Chain A
Amino acid sequence: MLYKIEITDKPGIFDAVGEGIKKDILDLGISSVKDVHFAQVYTLEGNISDGDLKQICEELLVDKIVQEYELISRPGLESNSRTNQDRVLKQGEHIIEVAYNPGVMDPVEESTLKGIRDLGIEGVESVRTAKKYLIKGKLPEGQLKTISEKLLYNKLIQHIVKPAGKGTVPFGDSPLTEHTYQFNLVTVDLLGASDKKLLELSKRGQLFLNLAEMRQIKDYFKKLGRNPTDCELETVAQTWSEHCYHKTFRGKIDYKEELLKPKIGTVPLARKKNEGGDSPCLRTTKKIDNLLKSTIMEVTKKLDKPWCVSVFKDNSGVIRFDDKYNVCFKVETHNHPSALEPFGGANTGVGGVIRDPLGTGLGAKPILNTDVFCFAPPKLPFSKVPQGSLHPKRVMKGVVSGVRDYGNKMGIPTINGAILFHEHFVGNPLVYCGTVGIMPKDKSFKKTNVGDLVVVVGGRTGRDGIHGATFSSGELTHESETISSGAVQIGNPIQEKKMADTILQARDKNLYSAITDCGAGGLSSAVGEMGAEMGVRVDLDKVPLKYSGLSYMEIWISESQERMVISVPKENIEELLAVFAGENVEASVIGEFTDTKKLELCYDGNLVCDLDMGFLHDGIPDIEKKAEFIQTRHIEPKANTAKNLTPYLTKLLSHYDICSKEWVIRQYDHEVQGGSVVKPLSGIVNDGPSDASVVKPVLDSKKGIIVSNGINFRYGFIDPYWMAASCIDEALRQIIAVGGSLKEVAVLDNFCWGNPDKPDRLGSLVRSAYGCYDIAKGFGVPFISGKDSLYNEYTVNGKSLAIPGTLLISAIAVMEDTDKAISMYAKESGDLIYVVGETADELGGSHYFDLFGAIGNNVPKVDVKKAKLIFEALSKASDKGLIRAMHDCSEGGIGVAAAEMAFSGGLGMELFLSEAPFKSDCFAPSGLAMTAGVRNDTILFSESNSRFIVEVSKKNQKQFEKALDGLPFGLLGCVSKSKEFKVYGLDGKICIAASLFDLKEAWQKPLRW
């Protein structure tokens, strides 16, 4: 029997949820809604007495202080007459009830069932929840539909409960009952398949395998003299997917580039002699075998840092922290799922990356998260949103909520991030999630042994997330939302939290020999990887399921969240199971590691998969892809001759990329775990933009971790090489800006690109990888881990929209003494303001040019030798305590950086542009600031790399200048007592004069939601 309970706030209680939705409806341009009331709905199934039901409602589900409830029994059975009367809607009232689709995990179910058991009540079999909205106001049917679809539900995971007629009770149309599964071995006829048929099989099965790969599989089974089972074919597809195997980065590439010339500082790939001659281009060609090994990993190999503990091997990169601990760092992307279901996609993105440190070595405790997003602008007209895509504002709100939910509930501070905007992210938002973990030195390596048991711990396996790995290895289309709906899921952070708690307990008792996470590909990739060197046998019927009805293959490839696989020596198994049982975490033995070099899967004693590990992990055919980078010349905007640049500074501060992200940051708990040293917001009223964040992972030690990021896809429109260089420079700059040094810094690469089968996409990817190589090597910072997410394209009506190729560089630094950390806001009037580093005419790709809708050509470059000297000198100066505040000069240049320091500190500034070291190009000989033809806006807003704004007290002037001896710096001006921000141009006349209030308002307004 079903019981439905509806809970609402008592009259007079402020309905915060309803009010929030009312505001969102207004944002949709619908102004006729007067009121929104929210109700939480529970549907219980089972045999429950009236008394028990009352107790469940009043003692558990309802907060009697502020809420009331209605109990509605199933129609046809004894019903509550009061309820039925109340259900009649008045004129202008609308009800929308949103429930989860069958098979979608409802995280509230488990806690509710536990709460009912704690009351001593038996007999409740299942619980489903729904959300109900009573909307008051005159609304045509169409608008109601808009509100539902744009705000209240996502059809991939939810449905609208059908409205009921008068007096009847609307029940979820989703059956709560389960299906049963009858074993039936399925084989796929590959042996008799033609090429055409092979491709068809790949497409129909969502395998995303190409013809060469399908043929290779066919040949393998031909030798065995049999057809593969569905499970075998899926396993190969998962293992060989772009997502798991990174075949683009590891494959062969035939690369050709054409750079515009002659621009000073345009660096061709110096690996082959320039064949350009007198032509207007610099042409280079190159055959690349394994781009990853020859660029990213080569940096690490060449630098050979003794503090790199484990790189590119484990689930995250590991570096030394101190004598007792190592730290590890991983950044993942979850773009495709976030495009379809922003909350669930970002939620499980965070959940997934947390399991990477947890699955590194023998398990690291997660200590911080970092999240970087790219969206289309929140004000994009609905007409520009392609069919099948969600509006960017909804995507952004959903993604932020998803990150907030998972990070906060896991008790991991989200301390760093960035958000950038461009129209081309409309079908394909980027969601980068990163986690740092810490582990004892002796827990940093794993080794599975033959005879160890395969144990799966954490959540149960369901039908969710099937085909996630292969799905993310193809482009999205407007049909993706239907065919790939299985790839969308929502997470259960508390399940992961208790799993993490118990795993670390079991680790400290030395109960297991290896651990890895179940991510993309599910058990298929986790177990497959762990057993790759020896062999493994798994009994799929032993995997605990959320509900019956899953086939052996679904069990094997399901990507249900919150699961990990550990290998356990037999003698430890009882103690290990007790650790998990002690905190209500499920752990099940599902198989054993063998010495057969085979992957053997059984279901109820039937062999359903029998593959050679060698074929699975090394059988993928070599493919050569073509890549081409042809630089194009962009239009330069007309010179801006305005004398008063104040309006431009204000507009820049309001640029979505630059403006305050406080609305987002405050929703993340950035202080849990207690180690916060430099928070993401700092200033006299705690609301300025910090450069990097600093935390102390070990509370009684002064050692810290600095985490920062560099990302700017705009430079990639001009030259991905310099985009990569700028990203690295920016990430490192931020570390220097908070008082860190280059001594122990490691970086991570995350490439999000379009379809690599298209030569232009792959060409720009290759060029940026070379930028990574040159600049990281120049700075002496190794890569320790990375990830690529390709195929970020969205096809509508045959037209393909690719995202701008976007590289995220995440940096992690170990800080010796966190007492020496520096923040970015101005501290005291009378202090001196310096600019350190040279400004060049590098407005290409700048936010200033973006104000004019232009890209330009003079992209910021990096003179890595000089940059390194500047960084090191500033580190020394901050170590000596000579610096009171420091801010990284990036988006919006000197103008924005100095203004941010001023209004964050609540103190004015007077600055003189004539004092800024200037040259025409990064690699040009140093020039004078007064050089003819240089404009104020160039100095103010150029985004040249390797620059800082530094505040120094007068008493330290000499020492500070001595510390920078021989390096480019200029004394720009000073912090003033007034609340005015004033800048004098090269002609000595004021070019910017604004009140701190106006500047701050411009900066805070755009995302003050």
Chain B
Amino acid sequence: MRKPKVCILRTAGTNCDKETAFAFNKAGAKTQLVHINRFSSGEKSLGDYQILAIPGGFSYGDDLGAGKVLANELRFKLSDDLSKFVADGKLIIGICNGFQILVKSGLLPGNKRFKQEASLIINDSAKFEDRWVYLKSQAKCVWTKDLPEVIYLPVAHGEGKFVTKDKAVLGRLKKNGQIVFRYCDEEGRSRPYPYNPNGALENIAGICDETGRIFGLMPHPERHIEAHQHPRWTGKPPFDFARAKQVTSIGDGLQIFRNGVEFIRNNF
């Protein structure tokens, strides 16, 4: 079968590139880790890929706010290529730092291209936190097809509190069905910290653009590809509300990557 080509974008400080590649490979894609310098120098072309994945990490140390420097690099150096990529109906996913980059470059919510309308700011707890969260999927996003109502993924970030510029932006996100994931409890109810790990507005954990093809989220689907990554895989039901998996089964995150791969297979 034809394998969609995924570009896993790297730069100084990227650090979830290899496991993101592993997840896409497992989902049936062909992946390449590409340093952003290869695009700016013209050695590689974004047009050669069908999926752009911006993985987690601390691009340029997140020194000027998470994802900001790379977001600007995309806006000022690759905007034409990116616009074409999006116009061609291809897919973009940003995970954690990748989500921060998509939001700060204005690719998300994406209503006015390359204009920032939302942000991801320092957690209410004022510290980095690694913990597992329940997520309720709600939107008609390409990436979240066939997911169970509640899934379980880890977050690991210090700046994940989603906020919008104003109420109008939030209203539009709701109206257009762009809110893909909200933090919740194991039964899908909305609950405060630590269920909402960062104080995000309306428990928003991930959003997509109007087409549902550009998707960003704070949690790490690539860290729940296999059953043993679940924090309670060594337990057995009924002790685990989150449908503990048998060792041979898969993790909740894999379907997200499969959806991306399947979309490209069906449409390109």
Contacts and interface: CB of A to CB of B under 8 A. Distances in A.
Interface of A: 13-14, 16-17, 19-20, 59-61, 63-66, 107-108, 110-112, 114-115, 118-120, 404, 408-411, 492-494, 497-498, 501, 582-584, 665-674, 676-679, 681-684, 686, 696, 699-700, 818-819, 821-823, 825, 827-828, 885, 905-906
A679 B231 contact: yes
A16 B124 contact: yes
A669 B155 CA distance: 9
Contact of A65 (B15, B64, B117, B225): B117
Interface string B59-94: 011011100110011001100000000000000000
Contacts of B199: 14
B61 A827 contact: no
Contacts of A584: 12, 37
B37 A409 contact: no
A669 B97 CA distance: 14
A883 to B, nearest CB: 10
Contact of A16 (B119, B122, B154, B163): B122
Given A16-B124, A671-B156, A666 B131 contact: yes
23 contacts: A14-B199, A63-B65, A66-B119, A107-B61, A115-B68, A115-B69, A411-B57, A492-B61, A494-B61, A501-B10, A582-B35, A667-B130, A669-B130, A671-B154, A672-B16, A672-B223, A673-B16, A676-B223, A676-B229, A677-B229, A684-B235, A823-B235, A827-B239
A638 B118 CA distance: 65
Nearest to A700: B22
B130 A666 contact: yes
B121 interface: yes
Most buried by A among B18, B58, B64: B64
A671 B131 CA distance: 10
A114 B35 CA distance: 16
Most buried by A among B14, B37, B235: B235
Q: Which 10 A-B pairs have the closest CB atoms?
A: A411-B15, A674-B19, A111-B63, A65-B119, A16-B126, A20-B126, A823-B234, A494-B61, A498-B12, A111-B60
B12 A108 contact: no
B63 A107 contact: yes
Contacts of A677: 228-229
Interface in B232-263: 232, 234-236, 239-240, 247
B22 A699 contact: yes
Interface residues of B, number: 64
A112 B124 CA distance: 25
A584 to B, nearest CB: 7
B231 A111 contact: no
A696 B156 CA distance: 19
B239 A410 contact: no
B12 A494 contact: yes
B119 A63 contact: yes
B15 A112 contact: no
Given A65-B163, A671-B223, A674-B19, A118 B232 contact: no
A404 B58 CA distance: 13
Interface string B110-127: 000000111101111111
Contacts of B73: 118
Contacts of A119: 72, 76
B64 A111 contact: yes
B216 interface: no
A667 B127 CA distance: 7
A17 B122 contact: yes
B26 to A, nearest CB: 9
A818 B229 CA distance: 11
A668 to B, nearest CB: 7
Contact of A114 (B15, B38, B60, B121): B60
A404 B56 contact: no
Nearest to A694: B228
Contacts of B125: 16
B195 to A, nearest CB: 11
Contacts of A905: 239
B69 A494 contact: no
Contact of A108 (B64, B130, B239): B64
B74 to A, nearest CB: 10
B35 A60 contact: no
B242 to A, nearest CB: 10
B12 A112 contact: no
Interface in B130-170: 130-132, 154, 156, 163-165
Contacts of B37: 582-584
